[in-house]
Amino acid sequence: MTTFPHYLTTLDFLPLKNSFFPAQLPSRSIMIILHGRGGKSEDFSWIAEYFDFDDMHYLMLDAPYVYDEGYAWHDLHGCMQESFTLLRETFDMLFKKEFDPSESFLFGFSQGAELTFEFGARYAKALSGYIAVSGYLSHPVRLLKEAKQSCKKAHWLCTHGTEDEVLDFYKTKEQIEVLQKGGFDITFSPYEKGHGIIKEESTMIYQWIQTLKASY
């Protein structure tokens, strides 16, 4: 079995700026993390320490558009095409040889959760799991038509706060139900929280990933 080369400790050659935390053990498993609007890759460096899977690489990507003190996945007109192109190039490079999509995960928060759905479900290769936290969808009906069947049948986890002051809980819940009825395998987990991530939720996500990893 091909294993991740020990000498590769940076992924600076990717088309998107990033923060990379290599696995402690040889592995072809990677978690790709997308921040929210106005965020940046280092905002989620805690995930590598909190989840602490020895055989998991962690890659936090910076979106291409400058927004306040961070970045965004949309341009000023709300277009995601540039982000889609750069993410596709990034994923193609990652999954060409070094990493195995069937052992990897895509994690997104807020606007990053939107991209997890909108890009992740359309990408040619299905990943092991998709995690969308406190997010939303741009066009759920269109996504149903354009999503890859293999991605629909993959494992999806969506969490959202009932007290979210940024993205309405009930609107997101309705959007997820549209996808569920259309064939997406999505677990939707509400939490009594605002627009953020709480410990109870992080622990549940960790356990969800752990369960999937145990099935390899």
Asked if pLDDT for residue 143 goes beyond 90, the answer is: yes
For residue 131, give the nearest of 150, 110, 105, 151 by alpha carbon: 105
Asked if pLDDT for residue 87 goes beyond 80, the answer is: yes
Q: Give me the mean pLDDT over the 187-212 stretch.
A: 97
Look up the CATH number of domain 18-214: 3.40.50.1820
Asked if pLDDT for residue 7 goes beyond 60, the answer is: no
Asked if pLDDT for residue 186 goes beyond 50, the answer is: yes
Quote the pLDDT of residue 8: 59
pLDDT category of residue 1 using cuts at 50, 70 and 90: very low
Average pLDDT, the chain: 94
Find all residues with CB under 8 Å of 149, minimum gap 6, and list them.
Answer: 183
SS3 percent helix, strand, coil of the chain, rounded to 5, is: 35, 20, 45
Asked if pLDDT for residue 75 goes beyond 60, the answer is: yes
The residue extents of the domains of the chain are: 18-214
Beta carbons of 175 and 143 less than 8 angstroms apart: no
Asked if pLDDT for residue 34 goes beyond 90, the answer is: yes
Quote the pLDDT of residue 77: 86
pLDDT > 70 in the chain, percent? 96
| Rounded-to-integer distance, Cα 41 and Cα 35, Å | 6
pLDDT category of residue 46 using cuts at 50, 70 and 90: very high
Q: Give me the mean pLDDT over the 32-45 stretch.
A: 96
